[in-house]
Amino acid sequence: MSPTILNIIIQLVAGAIGGNAVGAAAQNVNMGTAGNTIAGAVGGIAGGSLLTQLIPMLANATGGDIGAWVGQLVGGGVSGAIVSAIVGLIVNNMRQRA
């Protein structure tokens, strides 16, 4: 499997998990399971890709490097949680004003 595809899959899954975790932890940013998953997955891919560009060592996830896998998981999860929280705040504030 291509290293780029494996990195994207790791970031996607980690971002979705991070998005759902922040939605469960903070009810004021919760958008439901589907909303948290989508926002987290998009954030995981975006943040994980940015982190891979900043730290090239993380790009070698297919070589069996545990450090690269952990870096992709953490980068995707944290960025997915951040994007999900920001989108959740915006969406929930828009719902309250309507």
DSSP letters spanning 21-39: HHHHH-GGG--HHHHHHHH
Predicted pLDDT at 1: 67
Predicted pLDDT at 45: 95
Q: Which residue has the higher pLDDT, 62 or 95?
A: 95
Q: Evaluate if residue 62 carries a pLDDT over 80.
A: no
Predicted pLDDT at 97: 87
- Cα(5)–Cα(39) distance, rounded to whole angstroms? 20
